[in-house]
């Protein structure tokens, strides 16, 4: 039996990341992978990057990582309210100034996809890790998508299982051919009602893969207070408190 942990979308939330990593440690999970978006929204972008670097955790290039690493322009999104649009511009602009050059280089060198192959007894398992899709790190794929969308991704990647993040909403979908499409949710900026830090454990044996979504509480009020004391917009403090604002 092999266990691996997959997490995504930390978005500068170091307290949430620490809780998630500590939980993996308590469970004795040594294989850890991150699907990207280390930066933006909470004020510990550099600290999160440095923790991932120090622990040698393989990480993908999320859309926010790419934007900060390469100083890409920011465009309004139609799904965002005026309030969120303003907050998003301020937060990303702050990250572009705050993230160190060394850490921007680290982000710029992250891979886009990662394919894993594990051998358990006589069985080989192929696992495709993505930030959001095979073609893009900025595509929103939800649990409600037509099964054919995920089946095509599984076929394209020649995988038994695909794991993605990006939407900040976890899900598990298994198909008739026993293959899986999974979203590990978000560590640092969950859009789920409970706002808990979310990650995925995969247990692999010779017969099957068992996915488990783990959701953990973390020092939310401390995190909110630090956001309010930082140069990040208070919008994201309200978001974590789940005040009745846009969930986009």
Chain segment 220-244, per-residue pLDDT in tens: 999 999 999 999 999 999 999 986 4
Report yes or no: 37 and 62 within 8 Å, Cβ to Cβ.
Answer: yes
Of 114, 102, 94, the closest CA to residue 161 belongs to 114
CA distance 51 to 181: 28
Note the pLDDT of residue 214: 98
Q: How far is CA 41 from CA 24, 30, 172, 189, 205, in A?
A: 24, 28, 26, 8, 38
Note the pLDDT of residue 76: 66
Whole-prediction pTM value? 0.94
The tokens of 137 are what? 């790190």
Of 213, 165, 173, the closest CA to residue 189 belongs to 165
The tokens of 124 are what? 């080989």
Note the pLDDT of residue 243: 64
């Amino acid at each position: 039996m092999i266990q691996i942990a997959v997490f995504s979308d930390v978005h500068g939330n170091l307290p949430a990341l620490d809780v998630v990593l500590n939980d993996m440690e308590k469970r004795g999970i040594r294989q850890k992978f991150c699907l990207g978006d280390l930066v933006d929204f909470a004020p510990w972008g550099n600290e999160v990057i440095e923790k991932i670097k120090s622990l040698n955790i393989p990480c993908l290039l999320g859309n926010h990582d790419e934007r900060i690493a390469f100083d890409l322009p920011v465009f309004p999104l139609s799904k965002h309210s005026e309030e969120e649009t303003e907050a998003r511009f301020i937060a990303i602009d702050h990250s572009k100034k705050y993230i160190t050059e060394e850490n921007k280089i680290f982000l710029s060198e992250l891979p886009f996809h990662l394919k894993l192959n594990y051998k358990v007894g006589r069985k080989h398992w192929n696992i495709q890790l993505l930030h959001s899709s095979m073609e893009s790190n900025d595509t929103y794929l939800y649990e409600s998508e037509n099964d054919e969308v995920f089946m095509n991704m599984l076929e394209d990647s020649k995988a038994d299982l695909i794991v993605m993040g990006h939407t900040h909403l976890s899900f598990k979908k298994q198909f008739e051919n026993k293959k899986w499409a999974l979203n590990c949710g978000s560590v640092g900026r969950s859009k789920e009602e409970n706002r808990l830090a979310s990650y995925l454990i995969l247990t692999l044996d010779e017969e099957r893969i068992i996915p488990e979504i783990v959701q953990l509480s973390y020092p939310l009020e401390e995190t909110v207070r630090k956001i309010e004391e930082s140069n990040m917009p208070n919008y994201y403090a309200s978001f974590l408190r789940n005040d009745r604002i846009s969930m986009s």
